[in-house]
Each structure stands twice: as C-alpha cells, then as structure tokens.
Structure 1
Amino acid sequence: MSTFNQTCPNPSTFLLIGIPGLESEHVWISIPFCLMYVIALLGNGTVLFVVKQEQTLHEPMYYFLSMLAVIDLVFSTAVVPKMLSIFWLDSRDISFEACFLQMFFIHTFTVVESGVLLAMSLDRYVAICNPLRYNTIVTSPKIAQIGLLSLARGVGVVTPLTCLLANLPYCKTNVIPHSYCEHMAVMELTYTDSAVTDLYNIIVAATLVGTDFVFIAFSYGMILRSVLRLSSQEARLKAFSTCGSHVCVILLFYLGGLLSMYLHILDLGLAPHTQVLVADLYLVVPPMLNPVIYGIKSKQIRKRVFKLFGQQKNLAEPNI
C-alpha cells in the first residue's frame, strides 16, 4: 500500500457536492435545514440552561436530558454549518483531515446517543416499575459512569473505522457526492474493496445499536405493562402520551439511521438526491425534536422555562 500511496498521493482537500442533482435548489433547501438547526440550538441550549440554573432539576432524569442535549448540539454542529456554507456560499472544499474529523464526530456521537437513549429508557423503567428502589439504583456517580462509558464505547468503536478509512488511497476523484463526509460516500472514492467496511458497519449496527434498541423496546414494554395496570384512566392517558412521544423519537433515530445506511449499501435504483436527503434529515431532525419531546414536554422543565422568562420580563419592565 505504501508504494501505491507514493504514486497516488491522497488529495489535500475533498469537494462536497451538497445534494446531487438539486444544486440549483440549494438556496431553497437551505431554509428548512437552517430553521431546524436554529430550533435545535435554542431547544437544547434552553434545556441545558434551565437544568443548570434550577437546583430542583438536579436529578437523574434531567442529567440524562442534559447529556442528550450536549450530544445533539455536537451532532448537528458537526454537520449543519458546513452544509449551509455549501448551500449559501458554494463553499464545497473541506480538508482531508477535517473530513475525517467530521466523520469521526458524526459516527462517534451516533453511538453515544444510542447509549444515552438506552440509559434514559432504563431510568424510566426503574422509576415506574421499581420506584421504591429508584434512589438507590440510579445515583449521580452511576449516571457519570454511564455517560463516560457511552462516550468510551463510541470512541472505541468508531476510531478503528476512521483510521482504516484515513489510511486508504483515494485515487478515483476528490468529489464526494454528499452534503458531509459520510463514510460510505468517502469509501467510494477509493479503489479498495468496500466489503470490509460494509461488514464492519453491519456488525456494529447489529451488535451495538441493535442491542440497544432491543433493551429499549424491552424497557418500554415493561413500562407499558405497568401503565395498563393503573386504575386511573387519566393517569394512563398521560403516561401513554409521554411514552408514545418518546418512542416516536427513538424510532426516528434508529430507523432513520438504519434506513440511511441500507439505502447506501443496497442498490434500490433510487435517485442520488433521495439517499442524501434521507441522510441529511437523519442528522438534523432528531436534534431538533429531542429537546421538544424530552425537555419542553416535561412539566418541570416547562414550568421552569416560563418562570425564568417571566422573571426576565419583569426585570425588563421599568418601575413606575
């Protein structure tokens, strides 16, 4: 490989196409993506601010919400600013190192978010199905350990793949038909057989993300069983509303990621822009919805938000 790399040096920069076939519509496409990114920043930032300011929210569930907010901020910021620069400024170039750094952040925090979603589902399972032992099972040190373990798992899984791809020779072209450095799109720029990386992706998706999803499904299944035993219809409807919205976001995260991956692996004859749009939306929509579903819909956070903004409004009013 070293001889091949000497005769075929890697490009110093890659060129991102954006959305292939829809280049003339980039300005219009950028509008919803920009709005979703702004909502993600405001929503996740608000959750972090409120949890930090309010001592009453220094509880396990809100620590997990804060973790999810940080992940979503990193997740979306790793992609959307560069995407918007392509749509608005036609700034398509990205350095070789920045491309693989972006790839590393995207896939690392995908795995980290999966771990945090699993932890949140188990937290709700213990809170609803075993409430008397909740304070002894779910403690602050354990929450910190879960967060660090999720991060270590993401870094440990994604680092080998990123190093493998960074050391391949890219001799076909430096043009990536995508809006960001998606690893399967980058892999197509090399003459190397992609079977190894495709197999690695499938194994990771099946063993890590798939296992997380199974345990999440089990947790919410047990929660559902407990909810159905409630005597109050109002309590059941409230629990169904909350859990139903959580499940929708979880399904969007997992099914969106799997759909994006398999649309690229399987040759279904779809237009290139369809695959790219699915991949783009997968990285933008969950970070926008998570603070709304998990944070703003929480009664405690909603009350604190109204309280804080009410105080700010009162401070801004002049004394007469």
Structure 2
Amino acid sequence: MSEGNHSTVAEFILTGFPGLHPEYEGLASAVLFLVYFLTFTGNATVLFLFATDRSLHKPMYYVILNLSACDILFSTTTLPKIISKYWFQSGSISFTACFVQMYFVHYLGSVNSFILFLMALDRYLAICHPLRYPTLLKNSTICILSITAWIVANAAPLMLVIRAYPLPYCASNIINHCYCDHIGITILACTDRAPYSFPAFMFAMCVLLGPLAFIFFSYCSIIITVLKIANVQGRLKSLSTCSTQLIIISLYYLPRCFVYLASNVGIKFSSHMRIVIIMLYSLVPPMINPFIYCLRAKDMRESLWRQFNRRIVSQKVSVVSN
C-alpha cells in the first residue's frame, strides 16, 4: 500500500492515562519527571563508575553497563513525550515520529531481554563452572555477545515498523497509551490487523520466552549446584553473588508474564489498569535497578563509596587552599 492511503492521518494523539482528572495532571507530570530524573541519574552514575574505575571492568559489570545504557535510552524514548502531554498539554505526535518511537520501544525492550539472558549466563558459568569461567567468559567475549545482542534485536522491530507503516490509517488517530507501540498503532488501521498482529505476538513470545527459558534453566542449575555445597557459609556466599541479578530479572519478567498469562486465561483488565500495569513494569525497573546494583553488588558499592570520599577530600582541600 502506498503512503497516500494514510494521508488522512497526519498525527496521533496519546491519551496517556485514560480517565485521569485534569486536576491531577500536574501531579502526574511531576511524578513522571521524577521517575525520569532518577532513572537517568542512577544509570548515568553506573556508567560513570564503570568509566572511571577499572576494578569494575569484569564480565558481570559489562552486562550491567549495557543494561544501564538500555534503560536510559528506553526512558528517554518514552517519558519526555508523555511528560510534555501533562505538563504543556502537548499530547500530539507526528505520524512518522510515532513509528520511530514504536521502533525504539520494541527494539530496546528486545535488547533488555537479551542482556538479561547474558546476565543469567554470567552467573550460570560463574557458579556451575567456576574453573572454566575465566576462559569461557572473558571481557572480550562478553563485549562481542553484547554487541551481537544489540544487532540481533534490531531485526524484528524493524520488520514490525516496515509492515505497519504503509497500512491505511483513515479513521481515529487516538492511541490509548502513554507511548506508541505496535498494538496501539495497528489497531487504528482501516484493515484487518490479524495478518500483522500474529507475527507481532510471535515476536513478543520469542523475545520474552526464549531468554526466559534459559534463565529458568540457569537458575535451576545454580540452585542444584549450591545445594551440593556442604558448607552453609559457602552456600550463602554463592547465592548472594546472583541475588542482585535475580531481583532485576524478576522485576522485568514477572509482571510481563502475568499480563500475558492473564490475557490468555480470560482475566480482563480495564484500559486504565492495563496502561498502569504496563507503565509500572516498563518504567519502575530502570529506575530502581541502579539502586539494586549499588546496594547489592559489593564492587559497585565500594566504587561508589570511593568516589564519594574522593569528592569530600577534594572539597576539603579546596576549602583549606582558599
């Protein structure tokens, strides 16, 4: 279909949270801005610590580096527009910009899933094959795997956009969501969306369940390996090394699996509740992940403390010199 078929729609309107009373729109924009500020600041801190502290140049922290970069990009893709809607009453987004946002939403979501797969791989090799870990997962190896994840994740979202962009959009231009995604856009097309929704569903299942299957296998193997350790202290130490990753992985996958399973077993959500749940599992994990790193990961915590002490010492020196 040619681009002329959708010429009647020049822009889309994002509804944000349906039913939100106008008097709470200022509060909503303030909360979303705070979420974005904390997400950007926290993950930028992780990137800064990695760049300035060579002791963090280990496979596990290379994975965390990629996850932080992905979280910053995802939040920057989705939050500024919905913040401007409530802050400046600007909920419109151009036709092309909506598809660009749709691409990055699905692309970065795919990258996130693959990075969590690498996180589980790191812990699986470290605990189940500790003697072979240094040779199997070098820094160069994890860099290659990370780059591969960013490249491979590009294929399916790009295909979704290529197939959805030429559809005829000649009716409503209102997207009942806080950002543009495949379902929100294609449901507005003046055509049968079944040929487009099934490939999108299969893509979502592969991206979600493929890495999740390995993650489930890896942590089952980790638990079995840890239970074979006779020393209780050794068990606790082994489990503590993967607790951070397990928390992060749970925050990403459990809400998504709940939404997918609930919709398939007949549990219905109102549009209000569905959007709130999606926003919670999309935006809360990127915000709290950096705090989990710094509180649970010993090397990250010590690096942050060294940077903090260094700042205090430099300020004292500058005060004395003045």
Tell me if both proteins adopt one fold, taking TM over 0.5 as the criterion.
yes
Residue 282 (str. 1) matches residue 281 (str. 2)? yes
1:235-274 per-residue CA deviation (whole Å, 9 max, x = no partner) reads 4334445534532331321233345567788985532211
Secondary structure of 1:287 counterpart: helix
The one-letter code matched in structure 2 to 1:114 is: S
Shift of 1:157: 1.1
Residue 164 (str. 1) matches residue 163 (str. 2)? yes
Cross-structure match for 2:142: 143
Taking the TM superposition and a 5 Å limit, the aligned residue runs for 1:277-316 are: 277-316=276-315
Residue 98 (str. 1) matches residue 97 (str. 2)? yes
CA 10–224 in structure 1, closer or farther in 2 if over 3 Å, else same: farther
Identity %: 34
Cross-structure match for 2:320: 319
Partners of 1:111 and 1:153 within 8 A in 2: no
Taking the aligned partners of 1:125 and 1:292, their CA distance within structure 2 comes to 23
1:198-246 per-residue CA deviation (whole Å, 9 max, x = no partner) reads 2112212333321110101111111112222333334433444553453
Shift of 1:181: 0.6
Partners of 2:26 and 2:87 within 8 A in 1: yes
Taking the aligned partners of 2:126 and 2:89, their CA distance within structure 1 comes to 50
The one-letter code matched in structure 1 to 2:12 is: F
Partners of 2:103 and 2:161 within 8 A in 1: yes
Residue 182 (str. 1) matches residue 205 (str. 2)? no
CA 198–264 in structure 1, closer or farther in 2 if over 3 Å, else same: farther
1:103-145 per-residue CA deviation (whole Å, 9 max, x = no partner) reads 1111001111111111111111111111111121112332222
Cross-structure match for 1:81: 80
The one-letter code matched in structure 1 to 2:10 is: S
CA RMSD, Structure 1 to Structure 2 (Å): 2.2
Cross-structure match for 2:41: 42
Taking the aligned partners of 1:73 and 1:167, their CA distance within structure 2 comes to 30
What is the TM-score normalised by the length of structure 1? 0.91
Taking the aligned partners of 1:48 and 1:85, their CA distance within structure 2 comes to 27
What is the TM-score normalised by the length of structure 2? 0.91
Secondary structure of 1:15 counterpart: strand
Taking the TM superposition and a 5 Å limit, the aligned residue runs for 1:1-320 are: 1-2=1-2, 6=4, 9-24=7-22, 25-241=24-240, 243-260=242-259, 268-317=267-316, 318-319=319-320
The one-letter code matched in structure 2 to 1:19 is: F
* Structure 1: gaps spanning 5 or more residues: none
Partners of 1:263 and 1:275 within 8 A in 2: no
Shift of 1:7: 6.1
